[in-house]
Chains A and B, each alone.
Chain A
Amino acid sequence: MADTRLGHTKERFIVGIYDHEDKVVNAVKKLKNDGVKIYEVYSPHPIHHIDTYIGHPRTRIPIAAFLFGALGTLSAITLIIYTMGIDWPMIIGGKNFVAIPTMVPVTFELTVLISALGMVATFLVSNNMGPGKKEFMFDRRTTDDKYALVVDLDANTLGEEQIRDLMVKYGAETDPLPRIVER
């Protein structure tokens, strides 16, 4: 149940710790089968496809990369055509004012640059990350060698004890038992 002390609504989670990626994947799949909604899995390295097992929607980062890349291409073409063809047209080496072959290198570089920077900015914004951002770690060992399976108690119909038993049944560490964390 949400705690409303001091006027803040606190979320309550139960955190199970696993010592192997196979165990945590197994637990995710079996808990899902048992009707438990999983909040998130924290791991020291990426585990392929676990986001889809949890039920996270597919990321749209590639779309952002494409859109920023298109922006880069357009800005380069606009810049070159405006500067070389409109604002101060000069005949250099007998080339046309708008000479497409000589536009290729700069257009390519700006496409890559803006796509890369835009995509990484999108990544940081979408994950609420940035220099000096404060992290909320359910267990600090998850950046070392442990895997934390986190279940939001308010989003589930099963009780705390039942979820804890299921987590242990599917391989969570028992010393200590899966614990409650408030945020």
Chain B
Amino acid sequence: MQVTSPIREPLVTGHKTMHDITEDICRRVEEKPSKAWLAAFGVSLMMLIVGGYAAASTWWYGIGMWGLNKTVGWAWDITNFVWWVGIGHAGTLISAILLLFRQKWRTSINRAAEAMTIFAVICAGTFILMHMGRTWLAHWALPLPNTYGSLWVNFHSPLVWDVFAISTYLTVSLVFWYVGLIPDLATIRDRAKLTLEKYPLLDTDTPEERREKRKKRRPIAAFIYGLLAFGWEGGAKVWARYEYVALILAGLSTPLVLSVHTIVSFDFATSLIPGWHTTIFPPYFVAGAIFSGFAMVQTLMLITRKVYKLEDYITITHIDYMNKIIILTGSIVGIAYVTEFFMAWYSGVEYERYAFLNRAFGPYWWAYWSMMTCNVISPQLFWFKKIRQSIAWSFFLSIVVNIGMWFERFVIIVTSLHRDFLPSSWAMFSPTLYDMGDYLFTFGIFFTCFFLFAKYLPVVNMAEVKTILNSSDIKAKAKATEYLKEGGVVAAASPMYDKGKDL
């Protein structure tokens, strides 16, 4: 057990015991869905259905349903794809990079953030599949043996790199998330099995007694969570292996997070379009992705915290830390915008200069300045502690940042395309209802999946929060100090407290 500095804010408040943590998190899974959950789930299902109609129409009639033209061949589809991939970045970042940096505050939010990653990447993938036009030929993007004269995919193409990057990212994030879930699934399984033991159905029971007992027993939960828990027993040997797996997955995922958005940026950067062909894109896209991802985590965590009454686990300290990351990444993104402009001027290439002046002062000036306001100016408000620690401000600004990041992708893609080298082919892009419907469809997927996750799986990583409880709670710390005085041995990573060596 590591005892942290007394001046640090506790990460778990309310003097929780380990059993309290189990109760608080498992109760949400075990109880019947609340009216608020049903209402929210209903709204997301509606989005899924209405958007699903637009998506089905797009698949049936083709992408001619979109507002694309021969000049603007990429617009909302790729904007939404890049935006969703960016949203997905915070989850793995919280799980992987913060784990490597030993940031204990990640433990309360990593589970939901990882789930968010998976759903966001699924939404991103939906746009890629739609954008292909003929989705049923999506497997052609994979290097599969075929009968077309051994015609292989082009490994020199950034679009093929994207296929590998996104599918690897989705798979590894899914594995990381599921491995992390196993101990908590076992907790729910064991709680369900304990109720079965507590209320055995006996031959001597009267029909009324049996009916009463049946209401309390949870055989379906015991069966399903039993299947999902993979036979977890929680021995020291298994935990040791588990920790290594988590650490190595974090080590593998860290460069993976950076590589995915780098490769997404290559879709643009390796082209020769003014406004896309820039070397700053990889770090700029990665920073933007983390920026938007953290904003989305903030939005979802503030809602989850309120609805599930998790104020003791997702504290103001957590919100404050996330806002600090938003300031950092928002500032990096701001510098990137300025650098792009400077490099366009400094390059001396007139097309490049024009592309950037057109962004700021051309027909899409409103999109550019929306982006600048939302992404560069608004996060700077978080320098003020009162704003950074205010739930209402954090919620509002997290949404503003996500709107801004959507505009950033729109600006990069559409303003760079709509005025190409030939003024005779200049064109404007306007989205159709199907563009909007497809976007709504992915929101439907995202929120439906998120609400199902929040209801049927533990939203906070119980095992990890239990690990930090002793070092994050004043009472637990006092208990350990008292125990030391009595000559006990503290479970120690720190040799300072490891009295066991003297035994």
Contacts and interface: CB of A to CB of B under 8 A. Distances in A.
Interface of A: 20-26, 29-30, 33, 40-51, 53-54, 56, 59, 61-62, 65, 69, 79-80, 83-84, 87-88, 90, 92-93, 95, 99, 102-103, 105-106, 108-110, 112-113, 115-117, 119-120, 123-124, 126-137, 140-145, 171
Contact of B241 (A53, A127, A134): A127
- The dominant DSSP class at the B interface is helix
Interface string B170-206: 0110011001001100110111011000000000000
Contact of A135 (B176, B186, B243): B186
Contacts of B229: 135
Given A53-B500, A84-B155, A88-B152, A22 B232 contact: no
Interface residues of B, number: 81
A112 B259 CA distance: 11
B237 A56 contact: yes
B161 A106 contact: yes
Given A22-B489, A47-B491, A40 B156 contact: no
Interface of B: 1, 17-19, 22, 143, 149-158, 160-161, 164-165, 168, 171-172, 175-176, 179, 182-183, 186-187, 189-191, 193-194, 226-245, 248-249, 252-253, 255-256, 259, 263, 266, 462-464, 466-467, 470, 479-480, 483, 488-493, 500, 503
Contacts of B176: 116
A139 to B, nearest CB: 9
A46 B244 CA distance: 11
A88 B462 CA distance: 53
A144 B503 contact: no
Contacts of A112: 168, 172, 252-253, 255-256
A84 B164 contact: no
Nearest to A145: B18
A-B interface, 10 closest residue pairs, ranked by CB to CB distance from nearest: A133-B231, A145-B18, A83-B152, A105-B161, A26-B489, A140-B190, A46-B239, A25-B491, A45-B466, A51-B240
A43 B154 CA distance: 50
A117 B234 contact: no
B503 A30 contact: yes
Given A44-B187, A61-B245, A106-B164, A115 B252 contact: yes
Nearest to A65: B248
Nearest to B468: A45
A179 to B, nearest CB: 15
A41 B235 CA distance: 6
A19 B252 CA distance: 36
A46 B157 CA distance: 44
A48 B493 contact: yes
A41 B158 CA distance: 50
B165 A109 contact: yes
B236 A135 contact: no
A46 B182 CA distance: 13
Contacts of A43: 234, 236, 239
Contacts of A30: 503
Contacts, number: 229
A181 to B, nearest CB: 13
B156 A95 contact: yes
26 contacts: A22-B480, A24-B491, A25-B491, A42-B235, A44-B18, A44-B22, A44-B234, A46-B243, A61-B248, A84-B152, A84-B155, A87-B152, A102-B155, A109-B256, A110-B168, A112-B172, A112-B252, A112-B253, A130-B230, A132-B226, A135-B226, A136-B233, A143-B183, A143-B190, A143-B232, A143-B234
A51 B237 contact: yes
Contacts of A59: 237, 240-241, 244
Contact of A25 (B242, B253, B467, B500): B500
Contact of A126 (B18, B234, B241): B241
B168 A47 contact: no
Nearest to A47: B491
A109 B164 contact: yes
Given A30-B503, A144-B191, A135 B231 contact: yes
Nearest to A83: B152
Contacts of A135: 186, 189, 226, 229, 231-233
Contacts of A90: 154
Nearest to B185: A143
Contact of A29 (B160, B240, B248, B500): B500
